[in-house]
Amino acid sequence: MTHESLPPRPARKERLWTWMLVPGTAWMSVFFVSALLLLIALSFGTTDALGNPRFGSTLDNVIGVFTPTYLRVIIRSLTYAVAASVICLVIAYPVAYAIARHGGRYKNALVALLVVPFFANYLVRMYGWQTLLSDESMLMTWLRHLGVSASFHILDTGAAVIGGLVYGYVVFMILPIYASLERMDGALIEAGRDLYGSSLRTFFTVTVPASRAGAYAGLALVFLPAMGDFISSQLLGGPDNLMVGNLIQEKFFAGQNWPLGAALTMALMVLLLICMFAYLRQTARDAKEARR
Amino acid sequence: MRTPDVSRRRFLLGSAGVAALLAVPSCAYMTPKAQQATTKPVEPKIDGDLVYFNWADYVDPSVFEGFQNEYGVKVIQSNFDSMESMQAKLAAGNQYDIIFPSAQWVQKLVVANQLHTIDPSTLKNAPLIFDHYAYFADPWYDAKSAHSIPFSMYKTGIAWRKDKLGETLTGGWSDLWNETSKGRTFVLDDRDEVLGMLSLLLGYELNTAGDRELGNIVDRFRSLRPYLRGFSSDDYNNLLSGDAWMHQTWSGDMAALLWQAEDASIYGFEAPSQGTPINSDTYAIPINARHPGTALLFIDYMLRPENVEKNINYIGYPMPVHGTEGAYQEIVADYPECTVTVADLARGLYFSNDSVAKTQARDAAYTEMKVGL
């Protein structure tokens, strides 16, 4: 059926849909947009003797973001977030594939099993990892018995921070990939085989393109929160693993410099917006190709 | 579906600031109303339930019970997790009858006219403090203790694992540069403590904010970095878990360490010879308290030696109340250097307040040290 043959929608129905946007828009403008505007305004502000923020018009905070100290931490956060996203993809794809293609009647139960651990708060789970990985924990004692050197430790390293991010967000990668693979018609793979494609070739020419949108969505869902995370680095990281989220948190709390914290937050958001824009363009391009 | 949660999490983690802004109504940005510099002293009389605001677990619950039974009022408790968040709540206009600011914060609050005047002569038990700890009669943070009553005292030193590093260290801050402890040494995640430790080591004034001094502090810290496992204020847990063999530590946390350790004899505590920062927490009544009279009676009740002893045994901090010193000595019998003496107080190694510009210069130096360039 082509677009032209559709009957025109009654105007009244259109208006109803428009009205249904009102509660959401109101909620977002009060609690999100206005807070965001406050934050933008505050990044030009100053601080009084009690540490209370005051609105102002200084550029010091914005300029302050562009010092080597902060740039270094921002680059480190980018590296960690990219590494975590890639590792999540490598872990999530086979898991999603196995459940979607071979899960059979246990599919839903398997997905539920993946999701259940995430009912516990992220912070609590990170404390769990901290206990598990600490130097005199059962795990480390056991590793030393197996001959690992006594000076070896996992806690307070970059690997532990990236591991924490992967553990924290991997489910957001599995679910969209699972959804796209689950939606895929199994007959497509059979067709690929009927056309004498090897299983590997069929996988790369049929399955991967079909699940690409899910993988992109997963990458965005993991990368964005990982970039701003501070809990993993705070609980599992050492002195060389500080992320930009930690700096922002510190400026708002112990540092009592909300304006600088606000400026750092803005910098992070601009960076994330650029990534988000790239993601949206890529998915739009893919969608266009798929229609062709 | 979990997707809405993602955006919420990103919202919280990516911009802790947005959350903080939401929590504090806009009145935080207004100039505080000008108040009379001196208010009339609070009168000790019950004028309602007590709205109490302190660190979590800082008072023995049985002490609260006793107060409620004796005076027939309720204690409504809430907690803060840092002085900064206490200030944020006060600035937001929340009303509390009694708060427990550190000395540094008393000074800030007094300057901003945020505290009620307290006349020590209205407190039956005040002589137990002021007749024996003359220092508190006119402390640097509050002239003549006119707005605050001292609650507890603590100092910052070094705790270490005797079984790993030996029975004694050299007794100075340079002990943190210990080869054996390399990779297992922690400093407190606290700007003033870390800058203060290096100032003492380099012979500077404790609260220095000079460009040259801060530059040297950052340089000196660079040599400590390879030894460090982390910045953390969770000192006793890091020692208990075995991750730390050496830790810049608050003396008050030693009691918690001793109480929880399987074998307390493997830990030591030293107060370095270059000096140890001293700090004290206080009782104070915010200017907008609705029941200042009850609060004053509560302070007096808390100062009764039997209650002070209960609290010492509950939180493990020494308190400047005559007759209770023995209770603390008993707890730290094996760590005599934890004790805060009158001589320690007189040495004047306090973290003080400075102009916003100087505070921010110190903060920038600390950030540089934490990030490590």
Give domain limits for chain A: 70-291
Evaluate if residue A12 carries a pLDDT over 90.
no
- Contact criterion met (CB < 8 Å) for A72 and B371: yes
Mean pLDDT of A166-182: 95
Other residues' Cβ atoms within 10 Å of the Cβ of residue A112: 10
Is the minimum CB–CB distance between A227 and chain B shorter than 8 Å? yes
From the list A39, A122, A237, the residue facing B17 with the nearest CB is A39
Instruction: Give B160's strand partners.
Output: B246, B268
Question: How does the average pLDDT of chain A come out, rounded?
Answer: 90
Instruction: Give B279's strand partners.
Output: B154
Query: How confident is the prediction along chain B (373 residues), in pLDDT tens digits per residue?
Result: 333 444 444 433 443 433 333 333 333 323 333 343 567 899 999 999 999 999 998 999 999 999 999 999 999 999 998 898 899 899 889 999 999 999 999 999 999 999 999 999 999 999 999 999 989 999 999 999 999 999 999 999 999 999 999 999 999 999 999 999 999 999 999 999 999 999 999 999 999 999 999 999 999 999 999 999 999 988 999 999 999 999 999 999 999 899 999 999 999 999 999 999 999 999 999 999 999 999 999 999 999 999 999 999 999 999 999 999 999 999 999 899 999 988 888 888 999 998 889 999 999 999 999 998 6
- Residue A99: the pLDDT is 95
Is the minimum CB–CB distance between A73 and chain B shorter than 8 Å? yes
Flag whether the pTM goes above 0.90. no
Domain at A70-291: CATH code: 1.10.3720.10
Q: How confident is the model at residue A75 (pLDDT cuts 50, 70, 90)?
A: very high
Is the minimum CB–CB distance between B33 and chain A shorter than 8 Å? no
From the list B91, B228, B371, the residue facing A52 with the nearest CB is B91
Q: ipTM more than 0.85?
A: no
- Residue A10: the pLDDT is 62
Of the spans A148-152, A256-260, B176-180, which averages the highest pLDDT?
A: B176-180
Burial class of B86 by CB neighbour count within 10 A (0 to 12, 13 to 18, 19+): buried
Is the minimum CB–CB distance between A242 and chain B shorter than 8 Å? yes
Q: How confident is the model at residue A241 (pLDDT cuts 50, 70, 90)?
A: very high
Is the minimum CB–CB distance between A163 and chain B shorter than 8 Å? no
Other residues' Cβ atoms within 10 Å of the Cβ of residue A13: 9
- Contact criterion met (CB < 8 Å) for A136 and B242: yes
If you write DSSP's letter for every residue of A8-68 in order, what string do you get? PPPHHHHHHHHHHHHHHHHHHIIIIIHHHHHHHHHTT-EE-TTS-EE-----HHHHHHTSH
- Contact criterion met (CB < 8 Å) for A131 and B229: no
- Residue A11: the pLDDT is 65
Q: Under DSSP, is residue A237 helix (H, G, I), strand (E, B) or coil? A: coil
Is the minimum CB–CB distance between A138 and chain B shorter than 8 Å? no
